[in-house]
Structure 1
Amino acid sequence: MPFTLVGLCGYREEIRKSRFITFAAPITSPAEAQAFIEQHSDLDATHNCWAWKLGDQYRSNDDGEPGGTAGRPILAAIEAQACDQVVVLVIRWYGGIQLGTGGLARAYGGGANKCLQSADKTELISRVALHCTCAFAELALLKLRVAESGGLINNESFTANGVELQLAVAEAQIQTLQAQLADLSRGRIVLVRTDGADNT
């Protein structure tokens, strides 16, 4: 079962006079990953190496370290910790002693591993994207039922006739939720699937 992080976490260590600081955070898009890397990179550091994973998408960067000694070990750490929707940035200040390619891979991968191990994580639940409409008077109860089912309301828009909602609900909860919403609306509220699953 994949996990993501609850929030930002960090880890610091010194290896043979080089300082390493690792930051990790949850992400929901490649753009968010890049924004995090730009925001937390230290331009005065020797290297800002990173990796992120978002479902089937992933990227890594050695930022001037020998090829495969930084970005890939960071990505391997993300996968080893069963994490997804996560970005990890490892910043290095060179201390004058070369670590060699094996030492670099251990330093970057190890820092990422330790950072992710100590982070607060939450299980990623695969939810199905749905939409429905309801009357204004039914909205509060609908929201309560969706929350009780562990679902999410991703968007709501008010129209002249009521409210249109975009939901994300775990497959196992859809039937029960549909029955509850039909009860509260005398059968008017119908959950309709939209394409694609929403892993949140």
Structure 2
Amino acid sequence: MEKPFLTIAQATQYELVIKKSRFICSLQRVTTEEAAQDFIKQVQDKNRKANHNCFAYLVGDHDQVQRESDNGEPSGTAGVPILESLQLAKLHNVVAVVTRYFGGIKLGAGGLIRAYSNVTTQAVHQAGIVQRLRQRQLKITVSYRQHDALTYYLKEHQLAIAGEEYGVNVITNVLVNEEATEKTIASLQNRFNDQLTIEKAGQHFHEVPYQPNQD
């Protein structure tokens, strides 16, 4: 079974203060590496006086592009923890920039890794996670005589009507999850004794809130 495609619900910013150092994680959805780089530059420009603007991003349905940077922090203490936090949440198409304003107290390698990891994880929790569902549009042609029965059936099976067209017959548009398309068509034809004309139309993406414990 294909793994769910998850990403953040919205852009957000989250701050942690650890031993007087401020760690500010900025999260943004992106679909290209260029967009990720643009966002990183925006955060850097807004925080020119910061000691570090470390980042990580994952781009592509299968994370074809993955990048991370310690931006001057000791090697492996910032970029990798940020990236691993995004991966642990199973996110795609997201960029995280963690800005650090040094507070004068050194944290050590372990402290830095925990700080960058924790602020990223907390930012993800604040942003929320959504699952992207691939849906297929079905155009169902039904007679006026059977229209009420079809409407009742769709409501009963929690299939939302995406619009209707009225002519000689009624064309009812419905969106169903891609993997349920054939089963839905078979159920409809069985219920209405093959008296419906059902055409597969375009694909759409729909996002629904996601809780990690759903897996």
Structure 2 Cα separation of the partners of residues 199 and 105 of structure 1: 35
- Map 1:68-87; keep pairs closer than 5 Å: 68-87=76-95
Structure 1 Cα separation of the partners of residues 206 and 111 of structure 2: 36
- Report the Cα offset of residue 25 of structure 1: 1.8
One-letter amino acid of the structure 2 residue matched with residue 50 of structure 1: F
Are 1:56 and 2:84 counterparts?
no
- Report the Cα offset of residue 191 of structure 1: 5.3
Where in structure 2 are there 5+ consecutive unaligned residues?
A: 138-162, 166-171, 189-194, 208-215
- Report the Cα offset of residue 145 of structure 1: 2.7
Say whether the 8 Å CA contact 2:54–2:78 is kept in structure 1.
yes
Q: Secondary structure at the match of 2:173?
A: helix
Structure 1 Cα separation of the partners of residues 206 and 200 of structure 2: 22
Say whether the 8 Å CA contact 1:51–1:75 is kept in structure 2.
yes
Structure 2 Cα separation of the partners of residues 60 and 116 of structure 1: 17
* Aligned length in residues: 163
- Find the partner of 1:37 among 25, 40, 59: 40
- Report the Cα offset of residue 29 of structure 1: 1.5
- Map 1:118-129; keep pairs closer than 5 Å: 118-125=126-133, 127=134
TM-score by length of 2: 0.63
Cα separation, partners in 2 of 1:75 and 1:129, compared to 1, 3 Å: farther
Where in structure 1 are there 5+ consecutive unaligned residues?
A: 131-139, 151-169
- Deviating above 2 A after TM superposition, structure 1's stretches of 4 or more consecutive aligned residues are 54-57, 127-130, 170-177, 189-193
Cα separation, partners in 2 of 1:192 and 1:122, compared to 1, 3 Å: closer
- Alignment correspondent of 2:6: 3
- Alignment correspondent of 1:166: none
- Report the Cα offset of residue 23 of structure 1: 1.0
Instruction: From the CA coordinates, give the structure whose radius of gyration is larger.
Output: 2
